[in-house]
Amino acid sequence: MKNFWKEFKIFINKGNVLGLAVGVIIGGAFSTITTSLTNDIIMPIVSIFLGGVDFSTMSVALPTFFPLEEGAAPNTLNYGSFLSAVINFLILALVVFLIVKVVNKAISLAKKKEEEVPPAPPEPSNEEKLLMEIRDLLREQNNR
């Protein structure tokens, strides 16, 4: 058990957990935005083409096997809310896909630029420098 807590401390201190927490918080905020986009902008536009149908109120009343108490709402299957949630999910998935695609493209462009720059030729070793000096001296002697 002691080893487990030690590994957990190492995991927490790596920084991955902090990045994950930030991602979850940003994801929650982004989810709120996409929910609003779906419910307040997309679904009203879609309902225009479907004769003004409000998706959030679409439901089917389920049968009751026992008498309802006075003032109790009937049991309903709210498929309109589910449809809105599915559209919300698809929008969120599309945006995440586009973000990942852009990040991967940027990473691949950065790698290409690194590959395009050829490394400088290595500096000649001391032996090579000495041999070049000897070669040059021999040329000078032969040219005289």
Q: What is the mean pLDDT of residues 51-56?
A: 75
Assessment of whether the complete model's pTM goes beyond 0.75: no
- In this prediction, residue 15 carries a pLDDT of 64
pLDDT digits (tens, 9 = 90+) for 94-113: 888 888 899 889 888 888 87
The count of C-alpha atoms lying within 13 angstroms of the C-alpha of 130, restricted to the half-sphere facing its C-beta, is 3
H helical segments located in the chain: 2-13, 16-36, 43-49, 79-116, 126-143
Stretch (H or E) spanning 61? strand 60-61
Q: In terms of pLDDT, which residue wins out, 11 or 7?
A: 7
Q: Which of 45, 23, 36, 38 is nearest to 96 (CA)?
A: 23
pLDDT digits (tens, 9 = 90+) for 27-49: 888 888 888 888 888 878 877 88
Q: Which of 88, 98, 105 is nearest to 30 (CA)?
A: 88
Q: Which of 57, 55, 24 is nearest to 42 (CA)?
A: 55
- In this prediction, residue 62 carries a pLDDT of 85
Query: Token pair 């995991």 is at which residue?
Result: 11
Query: Token pair 């201190």 is at which residue?
Result: 13
- In this prediction, residue 101 carries a pLDDT of 92
